[in-house]
Amino acid sequence: MASLEEVVNPYVRRSRLQPALIVALPLALATLAWFPSGILGWGTLWSLFVWCGGTALLAQIARDAGKKKESFLYERWDGKPTTRMLRHRDAPNAVILEQRHRKLATLIPGIHIPTAKEEAADPTHADQVYDACTAYLLEKTRDKKKFPLVFEENCNYGFRRNLWGMKLWGITTTIVGCVATGVLIFRTVMSGVVPSPLILVCAAMAFFLLLGWFFWFSPDWVRIPADAFADRLLSASENL
């Protein structure tokens, strides 16, 4: 079944499905707080949801949300991470840059890596060459067993990009979760009963997740694994 494949595929599960589930988590917490005795019934409903392809749909929603906003990230970062690391003007280490340029020139038939002067004279064309180098490396490093570090950082980047891409949805569901658990706590206290630990934990989780949406999940947060993935991808050229 397509839904089972989506769950089993490590990249899809980690970078697409998990962000979507985090967005839906506050609603699940609120439901658990309000109806703790119905957890078995909700488990059956979730099984039906998975069987009908619901997880595949969630994964696609997360992927689309992240992809739509990726161009904004690249504009904010002044280009793709791999492109920046291949530029003469942006590379953090000139020696490593020279080694990577020399390796790419031998790997890719017919390609000419721009010199510093050529890049300065025509930066747009230079970026197109660097993008072509990136595309080549992506195709050659798809084997996650041979290039585990590239795969790991790709998953990390995909997870953060897609989660950040769903930020508006996440804030909305988390506010709903906070309000729902807050109302339940208020009703419980007003009835003279101490809220159960389950209710308090659900409310606390929703609240801290809301803080995360406002203060943690940001383009700078996404950039950390994006740069790490770019560095691992370029370093992998030495093994090709």
Q: Read off the pLDDT of each residue in 164-185 and give the average, rounded to a whole number.
A: 95
DSSP strands (E only) in the chain: none
3-state secondary structure of 111: coil
By percentage, how much of the chain surpasses pLDDT 70? 90
Q: How far is CA 175 from CA 62, 125, 186, 195, in A?
A: 19, 46, 16, 20
- pLDDT at position 234, please? 96
Confidence of residue 2 (pLDDT cuts 50, 70, 90): very low
Give the residue from 166, 199, 165 showing the smallest Cα distance to 184: 199
SS3 89: coil
Q: CB–CB of 137/234 below 8 Å? A: yes
Check residue 60 and give its pLDDT: 87
| pLDDT at position 49 over 70 | no
pTM score of the predicted model: 0.89
* pLDDT tens profile 179-202: 999 999 999 999 999 999 989 999
List the domain range (segments joined by +) for residue 227: 2-239
In the chain, how many domains are there?
A: 1
pLDDT tens string 86-126: 999 988 889 999 999 999 999 998 899 999 999 999 999 99
Query: Of 84, 65, 68, 74, which is closest to residue 15 (Cα–Cα)?
Result: 65
The pLDDT tens digits of the residues spanning 219-235 come to 999 999 999 999 999 99
Average of per-residue pLDDT across 143-169: 95
Q: Mean pLDDT, the chain, as a whole number?
A: 89
For residue 224, the one-letter residue type is I
Mean pLDDT of 172-178: 95
